[in-house]
Amino acid sequence: MADIGNAGPQGSGTRGALVVGAGIAGLAAALRLHQQGWDVVVIERAPARRSGGYLVNLHGPGYAAAERLGLLPALTPRDIGFFTSVLVHADGREKFRIPAAVTEAAVGNRALSLFRGDLESTLYDAVADLVAIRFGTTVAAVAENSGGVVATLSDGTRLAADLLVGADGVHSRVRELVFGAEPEYFVDLGHMVGAFPLHTVPEHVPAGVGTTFIGPGRTAAVMNLGPQRSSAFFTYRCPNSQAELALGPTAALTAAFGDLGRGVADALRELEADPAVAYFDSVGQIVMDRWSSGRVVLLGDAAWCVTVFAGYGAALALDGADRLGTALAAHQADIPAALDSWERSLRPEVDKRQALARKGMVRFAPPSRAHVWAGELMLRAIQLPGLRGLVQRSIQRANN
Ligand SMILES: Cc1cc2nc3c(=O)[nH]c(=O)nc-3n(C[C@H](O)[C@H](O)[C@H](O)COP(=O)(O)OP(=O)(O)OC[C@H]3O[C@@H](n4cnc5c(N)ncnc54)[C@H](O)[C@@H]3O)c2cc1C
C-alpha 296 – ligand 1 centre gap (Å)? 19
Residue 290 is predicted with a pLDDT of: 97
Residue 1 is predicted with a pLDDT of: 39
DSSP of 338-397: HHHHHHHHHHHHHHHHHHHHHHHHHHHS-SSHHHHHHHHHHHHHHTSHHHHHHHHHHHHH
C-alpha 6/C-alpha 13 separation (Å) is 7
Residue 12 is predicted with a pLDDT of: 56
C-alpha 16/C-alpha 8 separation (Å) is 9
> In this structure, are residues 231 and 197 in contact, taking their beta carbons and an 8 Å threshold?
yes
Residue 305 is predicted with a pLDDT of: 98
Mean local confidence (pLDDT), 96-119? 81
Closest residue CA from atom 31 of ligand 1: 23
The pLDDT tens digits of the residues spanning 253-285 come to: 999 999 999 999 999 999 999 998 899 999 999
Q: Is the dihedral of CA 323, 326, 330, 333 positive or negative?
A: positive
List the single range of 293-297, 298-302, 363-367 with lowest mean pLDDT.
Answer: 363-367
**Is pLDDT of 66 > 70?**
yes
Q: Quote the Cα angle for 171-51-362, to 5°.
A: 60
Out of 301, 306, 354, mutate this one to test ligand 1's pocket (max ligand atoms within 8 Å of CB): namely 301
pTM of the model: 0.91
Residue 385 is predicted with a pLDDT of: 61
249 lines ligand 1 (CB under 6 A): no
Residue 398 is predicted with a pLDDT of: 52
> In this structure, are residues 165 and 299 in contact, taking their beta carbons and an 8 Å threshold?
yes
**Is pLDDT of 71 > 90?**
yes
Residue 256 is predicted with a pLDDT of: 97
Residue 300 is predicted with a pLDDT of: 98
**Is pLDDT of 173 > 70?**
yes
Residue 311 is predicted with a pLDDT of: 87
Residues in the chain: 400
DSSP of 195-256: EEEESS--TTS-TTEEEEEEETTEEEEEEE-STT-EEEEEEEE-S-HHHHHHH-HHHHHHHH
**Is pLDDT of 34 > 90?**
yes
C-alpha 118/C-alpha 208 separation (Å) is 18
C-alpha 167/C-alpha 10 separation (Å) is 28
**pLDDT band with cut points at 50, 70 and 90 for residue 26:** very high
Give Cα 384 to chain centroid, integer Å.
33
